[in-house]
């Protein structure tokens, strides 16, 4: 059935709420879990401060290291044992990066939180889940999470 489950996380506590259920599913299926955090470091095209490109590469590397450390902590806190877990931090546009990572890593299931956003919240914050649903070629599992505490 499913052998590799990709779980994109956005850094919010709400998205982490799906992890215990994903852990149970992975254990039952003997599947690998890949925790993914997509990030952007947009420094613009013009450097007003006179920094060399290496300066910004160092900032990107530090930021990625921090994200990976955070994902490692999330793994320890929310996922049990009995199945392999990998963590990835990728820079780029969110939906396209999730799609590319799913293809590259051979994910056959993407598990994402389903948030009930309405009105202006949906317009301004977008809907990553809908974008992923339109662009990926594998199964998508939506887990409902409460937007509140």
Domain boundaries, the chain: 4-144
Give the model confidence (pLDDT) of 61-113 as tens digits.
999 999 999 999 999 999 988 899 999 999 999 999 999 999 999 999 999 98
Average pLDDT over residues 124-129: 64
Give the model confidence (pLDDT) of 20-60 as tens digits.
999 999 999 999 999 999 998 776 555 666 677 788 788 88
Nearest 5°: CA angle at 75, between 94 and 27?
100
Structure tokens belonging to residue 82: 């009995």
Between CA 132 and CA 145 the distance in angstroms is 18
pLDDT bucket at 124, cuts 50 / 70 / 90:
very low
Sheet of strand 139-144, all strands in order from the earlier edge strand to the far edge: 85-91, 32-39, 4-9, 109-114, 139-144
Residues 6+ apart with CB under 8 A from 99: 132, 135, 136
- Tabulate helix, strand, coil % of the chain (nearest 5): 45, 20, 30
CATH hierarchy code of domain 4-144? 3.40.50.620
pLDDT at 120 over 70: no
pLDDT bucket at 117, cuts 50 / 70 / 90:
low
């Amino acid at each position: 059935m499913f052998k590799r489950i990709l779980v994109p996380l956005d850094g919010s506590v709400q998205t982490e709420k799906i992890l215990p259920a994903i852990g149970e599913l992975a254990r039952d299926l003997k599947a690998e879990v890949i925790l993914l955090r997509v990030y952007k470091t947009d420094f613009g095209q013009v450097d007003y401060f006179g920094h060399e490109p290496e300066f910004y590469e160092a900032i990107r590397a530090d930021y990625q290291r921090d994200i990976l450390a955070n994902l490692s902590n999330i793994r320890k806190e929310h996922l049990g044992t009995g199945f392999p877990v990998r963590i990835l931090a990728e820079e780029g546009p969110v939906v396209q990066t999730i799609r590319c990572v799913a293809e590259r890593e051979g994910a056959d299931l993407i598990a994402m939180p389903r948030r009930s956003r309405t009105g202006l919240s949906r317009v301004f914050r977008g809907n990553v889940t809908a974008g992923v649903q339109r662009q990926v070629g594998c199964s998508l599992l939506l887990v409902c999470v409460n937007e509140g505490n």
